[in-house]
Amino acid sequence: MTDTPPDGKRPWQNVWRSRIRTSLSYVDGLMRSVALATRRHDGVEDDAHGRAPGPAAALDAGGANDHAPGLDPVAHRASLIGYVTGLGLAALLTAISFWVALDRETFWQPGVAVGLCVLAAAQMGIHLVFFLHLTTGPDNVNNALAVAFGVLIIVLFGAGTLWIMSNLDTMMLPPVPR
């Protein structure tokens, strides 16, 4: 500890400090450009049918509390933090799926298939919310209803197919010996 500089910090600490400061300034720059984009979007509506300010805007502000994480509620623009969160959660759930499938000692084996399905459904939900920005907000409720109808069809389709085909399989006569 004899070579400690007068400011009480060792040289490697200062190196790491400056490195962290530099990388933070990159992040700051990216966030600034995103903020700039949203502000520009507020000023110039790029759709032909921009919403008029007034009572409609007040209504929108009342009903728009339910917006996707990482999606700017005013400008409807995605932000970095939402995608990073989604990536982290999706990677975590994928890793857990592979672990559950491959570790044959930790888990109760008959329940693994159901567990994998639950993990997959959870990850699909993460993707829908954080990547596809599906919400139940006023401008997104049609999309959510379309997805809900799709889920209904898929469940009927998948469960119905498995039910009927397994039934046929059980009822089938054994092959006639030649």
Helices 112-126 and 80-102, interaxial angle, to 10°? 170
The DSSP element (H or E) to which 158 belongs, if any, is helix 141-171
Stretch that binds another protein, among 2-10, 13-21, 148-156, 170-178 (CB under 8 A): 148-156
Q: Site mask, another protein, residues 83-122, x = CB under 8 A?
A: x--xx--xx--x--xx--xx---------xx--xx-xx--
Considering the complex, state which of residue 2 and residue 33 has its C-beta at the smaller distance from another protein: 33
- Binding flag, residue 170, another protein (CB under 8 A): no
| Alpha-carbon span 59 to 37, nearest angstrom | 24
The one among 51, 66, 69, 111 contacting another protein by CB under 8 A: 51
Widest CA span in the chain: 97
For residue 89, what are the CA distances in angstroms to 15, 21, 62, 85, 94? 32, 27, 30, 6, 9
With contact defined as beta carbons under 8 Å apart, do 34 and 79 qualify? Answer: yes
Residues that bind another protein (CB under 8 A): 33-34, 36-38, 40-41, 46-52, 54-56, 58-60, 62-63, 76-80, 82-83, 86-87, 90-91, 94, 97-98, 101-102, 112-113, 116-117, 119-120, 123-124, 127-128, 131-132, 138-139, 142-143, 146-147, 149-150, 153-154, 157-158, 161-162, 165
